[in-house]
């Protein structure tokens, strides 16, 4: 597959939060191409700063640290926080208090745009026989999905009240390849993730846009028509992985909520 096109340098300083996580490590390698300085942040170890990088460790729930972190930043790719379903308290701190701290610091420092890693789990309680769009009401499938719905609402408020633009990416399953049959619908390749983030950073006008983060999969539950203004064109598909994925998981239990609902295994997690 052709690599995403090289963008012109659009930003002086771009902040990547959650830079030590799975997607953060991928985007660390790829986002340098669109900024002069890539500022990396996480609570986990990030290693030494490479050329064109700055490393600024910070906890999202620490408002003062967020204020320092956002200084001199033009735009943000916010991947930080808890990325799976779990007990409420850590999600409250990192994903709800944390996203508020980030937006408030971004507003105070005049940041123009945030690309927010939301999640398909904002709508995880829709069934797998429904095709939905970002206009449909949210149906979070747990604490994590609820926290991402809060982040999207916060993004809408910060645009309506302060003009701070956001693209909320309802990321499906971004891994090297689909791990199970559900991911034949939800898979987002790393190259398409890069394309989606670059499109979200560089589209001229986004307001608060919501888009599902998926590759050009044949099976799909999500309609991104209303996000066409972003200019995101996925180039990869889960289809080449179908035969091997179905062979690994030949029988599906249709009584299992993880098989019925789009959120998969997240819908049955807890109570914690
Ligand atoms: C997510 O939001 C998670 O961060 C990721 O680990 C996957 O589980 C993904 O959703 C998914 O739905 O497959």
pLDDT in tens, 19-43: 999 999 999 999 998 999 999 999 9
Q: Is 121 in the pocket of ligand 1 (CB under 6 A)?
A: yes
Residue 112 makes CB contacts below 8 A (sequence gap 6+) with 74, 75, 164, 165
**196 CA to centre of own chain:** 10
With CA atoms as reference, report the closest residue to 15 among 51, 57, 61, 50. 57
Predicted pLDDT at 193: 98
78 three-state secondary structure: strand
Identify whether 261 is preceded by a cis peptide bond (ω within 30 of 0): no
Mutation pick for ligand 1 pocket among 21, 82, 83, 215 (CB with most ligand atoms within 8 Å):
83
pLDDT of residue 50: 97
Pocket test for ligand 1, best of 21, 121, 262 (most atoms within 8 A of CB): 121
For residues 231 and 83, give the distance between their C-alpha atoms in angstroms, rounded to a whole number.
Answer: 26
- Low-confidence stretches of the chain (pLDDT < 70) are 1-7
CB of 119 closer than 6 angstroms to any ligand 1 atom: yes
The rounded Å distance from CA 179 to ligand 1 centre is 11
Q: Which residue in 103, 144, 158, 232 is the catalytic one?
A: 144
pLDDT for position 6: 64
Token pair of 94, please? 């990192």
**pTM across the whole model:** 0.97
Q: Give the position, in ligand 1's atom list, of the atom nearest the Cα of 264.
A: 12
Which of 21, 78, 119, 169 has most ligand 1 atoms within 8 Å of CB, for mutation? 119
Tell me if 84 CB under 6 Å of ligand 1: yes
**Contact criterion met (CB below 8 Å) for 196 and 213:** yes
Structure tokens at 31: 């986002």
pLDDT at 156: 99
Distance of alpha carbon 212 from alpha carbon 221, whole angstroms: 10
Burial class (CB in 10 A: 0-12, 13-18, 19+), 98: buried
Is 144 a residue of the active site? yes
């Amino acid at each position: 597959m052709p690599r995403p096109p090289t963008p012109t340098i659009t930003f002086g300083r771009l902040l990547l939060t959650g830079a030590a996580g799975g997607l953060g490590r991928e985007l660390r390698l790829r986002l340098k191409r669109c900024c002069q300085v890539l500022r990396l942040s996480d609570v986990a170890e990030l290693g030494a700063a490479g050329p064109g990088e700055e490393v600024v460790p910070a906890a999202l729930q620490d408002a003062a640290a967020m204020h320092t972190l956002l200084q001199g930043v033009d735009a943000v790719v916010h991947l930080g926080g808890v990325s799976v379903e779990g007990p409420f308290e850590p999600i409250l701190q990192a994903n709800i208090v944390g996203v508020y701290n980030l937006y408030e610091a971004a507003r105070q420092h005049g940041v123009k745009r945030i690309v927010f890693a939301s999640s398909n789990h904002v709508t995880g309680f829709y069934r797998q026989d429904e095709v939905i769009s970002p206009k449909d009401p949210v149906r979070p499938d747990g604490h994590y999905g609820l926290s991402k719905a809060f982040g999207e609402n916060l993004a809408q408020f910060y645009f309506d009240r302060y003009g701070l633009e956001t693209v909320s990416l309802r990321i499906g399953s971004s891994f090297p390849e689909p791990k199970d049959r559900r991911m034949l619908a939800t898979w987002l390749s790393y190259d398409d993730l890069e394309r989606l983030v670059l499109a979200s950073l560089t589209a001229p006008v986004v307001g608060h846009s919501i888009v599902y983060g998926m590759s050009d999969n044949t099976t799909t539950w999500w309609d991104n028509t209303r996000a066409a203004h972003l200019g995101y064109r996925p180039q990869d598909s889960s289809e080449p992985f179908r035969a091997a994925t179905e062979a690994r998981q030949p029988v599906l239990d249709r009584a299992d909520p993880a098989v019925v609902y789009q959120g998969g295994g997240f819908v049955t997690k807890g109570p914690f």
